Amino acid sequence: MENGYHWRNRELREHVAVIDGKVAPTKVLTNGIYLNVYTKQWLKANIWILKDRIVYVGGKLPDQTKEVELVDCAGRYLVPGYIEPHAHPFQLYNPEELAKHAAKFGTTTLVNDNLMWLFLLNKKKAFSLVEEFNKLPISMFWWARFDSQTALQDEEEIFNSETVLSWLENPSVVQGGELTAWPRLLRGDDRLLYWIQEANRLGKPVEGHLPGASEGTLNKMKLLGVTADHESMTAEEVMTRLRLGFQVGLRYSSIRPDLPEVLEGLVSEGINSYENLTMNTDGSTPAFYEKGLMNVCVAIAIEKGVPLADAYQMASYNVAKHFGFAGELGGIAPGKIAHINILDDKVNPHPVSVLASGKWIKKDQVTQSFNNPIDWHKHGVVPLTFDWTLTESDLQFSIPIGLDLENDVIIKPYAIKTDVTLEQIPEINSDAFLLLIDRNGKWRVNTTIRGFTKKLGAIASTYSTTGDIVFIGKNKQDILIASTRLQQLGGGIVVVHEGEIIFELPLPLGGIMFDGKMDDLIAKEKELKRILKDYGYAYSDPVYTILFLSATHLPYIRITQRGIIDVKKREVLFPAIMR
């Protein structure tokens, strides 16, 4: 530790030496007008950068300019790099590619869900991977999940005090949650309360997941140590949470694009304080990010009449202050990491140039490349291997209750009336076979789903809440073909109809994530949506429908590792069958 202090001291002395003229800066941004988030003023200044840090903001130019990159920002406006405070970085994309894509549009910091690392990796490998992300120029922080948001067969193996507390103590972890198991907390789960208390003791906020929560419930959650929530769907819900002292995230996602309407309501109510508000995109599916992340949210805020400085601060300083890293991020000031967006107009938050840790991510609209790619194989994130084969005996359906899609993610039970002993369910109804099977082939749950497709033979997906395998389709032989191809790919999504593979998306990173460029993934997701719509999917986001089939934080019925679950009653209606 002492050596670490000595290294940091030398670095700080070098920063001061730049101002004294003894060391030349790396870059100098001259003549720009920057947003000072501490005074909410737009000020003209020269900004000196040494490697990854801002070392000077003011009117002077350095004495030493030889070999210094001088960038004339006259007529340009500079704002802090944007921060995404609530990322689920495994919605088909992987965290590295999401970060690179986000940074092109000015989002240079992400605060990420750790759930998939809990499912895919042991703690040692996961922490090694977290360290690897710290080598990126984009700042990557993480949550410490307290629950799985589903019903696992062996939850204690993943969610126990040793594991949860070790995540909380990791310096790259900046919050506990999101807490989807809050009903358990209210019912008296003292282990959850202990984890929340430990997060509070460490000075790390705890994010709730409180859609539609009453005022009484919100008061109780605040008393129990929950400090933030991102589930407000109306301006009234936002105001209720603000008045109780919550940090409130306003959501603009592929499932819940509430931000424009919520901001309209807040502005019309004459809200005069935005300090405890942030914005987030809540793990949207790839195509939703085609034009960026937080830059889109800031543009909406400006359009809806949020004061200009507040619109930018909701995507920068407010986030940094909430998570306790405002000493390094969220502003343009000496000592800060050099995350800076350069704009052509202060009312246009889509940057023409982006600096992350003092490196160009985009310069004059041209995206730059950078090294240090993540070595996924080294950290154990590899294609799936299978030592079992799906057979016709696995396709026996006898449960009388199926899952009825009401929209993308809300599912109600229904009585199955179609003949599920047939090889193919007729197109005259919208029922389809639904099979959830253990990725290791140990157990299965067989039922039907209504409303996903009218005629599709089969879709198979290793992308799911837990990484177990989902099959949906009208035809049992197509399901078997899809399974064979899925195993050949080492994980992914495969669509089959009338014996022909009509779509496939390899997900070689643990069967969950794509290993390629975001633009390519966006094109593939659009193709998948088009195909499923052609075959009768009536809603907007089939990727989220598949992901949330097992998500017990949503009503009313779910298919999980334990079996078919009644969410409200917390009962297993029909247990999983061992193979």
CB 110 within 8 A of CB 89: yes
CA 207 to CA 228: how far, in whole Å? Answer: 5
CA 468 to CA 444: how far, in whole Å? Answer: 10
How many distinct structural domains can be found in the chain? Answer: 2
Question: Of 426, 429, 437, which Cα lies nearest the Cα of 475?
Answer: 426
Stretches where the chain sits below pLDDT 70 are 1-7
Query: How does strand 431-437 pair with strand 366-367?
Result: unpaired
Shared-domain flag, residues 307 and 439:
no
Domain-terminating residue out of 279, 300, 323: 323
Question: Of 460, 439, 451, which Cα lies nearest the Cα of 409?
Answer: 451
Question: Of 33, 114, 10, 93, which Cα lies nearest the Cα of 340?
Answer: 33
Interior/surface letters 297-316, b for 16+ CB within 10 angstroms, e for the rest: bbbbbbebebebbbbbbbbb
Q: What is the pLDDT of residues 223-274, one digit of tens each?
A: 999 999 999 999 999 999 999 999 999 999 999 999 999 999 999 999 999 9
Shared-domain flag, residues 315 and 397:
no
Position 74 in a domain? no
Shared-domain flag, residues 290 and 415:
no
Shared-domain flag, residues 85 and 197:
yes
Position 559 in a domain? yes
CA 490 to CA 506: how far, in whole Å? Answer: 7
In Å, how far are 29, 436, 452, 478 from 449, measured between CA atoms? 58, 12, 7, 16
CA 530 to CA 24: how far, in whole Å? Answer: 55
Shared-domain flag, residues 400 and 535:
yes
CB 462 within 8 A of CB 491: yes
Residue 202's domain spans which residues? 81-323
Query: At a CB cut-off of 8 Å and minimum separation 6, what does 204 contact?
Result: 144, 168, 173, 174, 175, 176, 323, 324
pLDDT on residue 8? 85
Question: Of 487, 479, 482, which Cα lies nearest the Cα of 435?
Answer: 479
CA 169 to CA 553: how far, in whole Å? Answer: 26
Query: At a CB cut-off of 8 Å and minimum separation 6, what does 13 contact?
Result: none
Domain-terminating residue out of 294, 323, 352: 323
CA 329 to CA 323: how far, in whole Å? Answer: 10
Place of tokens 């198979």: 460
pLDDT on residue 7? 67
Position 284 in a domain? yes
In Å, how far are 20, 86, 94, 228 from 180, measured between CA atoms? 52, 14, 23, 13
CA 515 to CA 526: how far, in whole Å? Answer: 17
Query: At a CB cut-off of 8 Å and minimum separation 6, what does 11 contact?
Result: none
Position 350 in a domain? no
CB 450 within 8 A of CB 404: yes
Shared-domain flag, residues 88 and 176:
yes
CB 281 within 8 A of CB 293: yes
Token readout for 177 is 């949650």
CA 144 to CA 164: how far, in whole Å? Answer: 7
CA 418 to CA 410: how far, in whole Å? Answer: 22
Position 348 in a domain? no
Domain-terminating residue out of 323, 355, 370: 323
According to the 3-state scheme, what is the secondary structure of 489-525?
HCCEEEEEECCEEEEEEECCECCCECCCCHHHHHHHH
Q: What is the dihedral of CA 283, 287, 292, 298, to 10 degrees?
A: -70
Shared-domain flag, residues 398 and 270:
no
Shared-domain flag, residues 319 and 396:
no
Shared-domain flag, residues 402 and 500:
yes
Shared-domain flag, residues 472 and 562:
yes
Position 330 in a domain? no
Shared-domain flag, residues 439 and 569:
yes
pLDDT on residue 64? 84
293: domain CATH number? 3.20.20.140
Residue length, the chain? 579
CA 569 to CA 546: how far, in whole Å? Answer: 23
Position 477 in a domain? yes
Position 294 in a domain? yes
Shared-domain flag, residues 451 and 306:
no
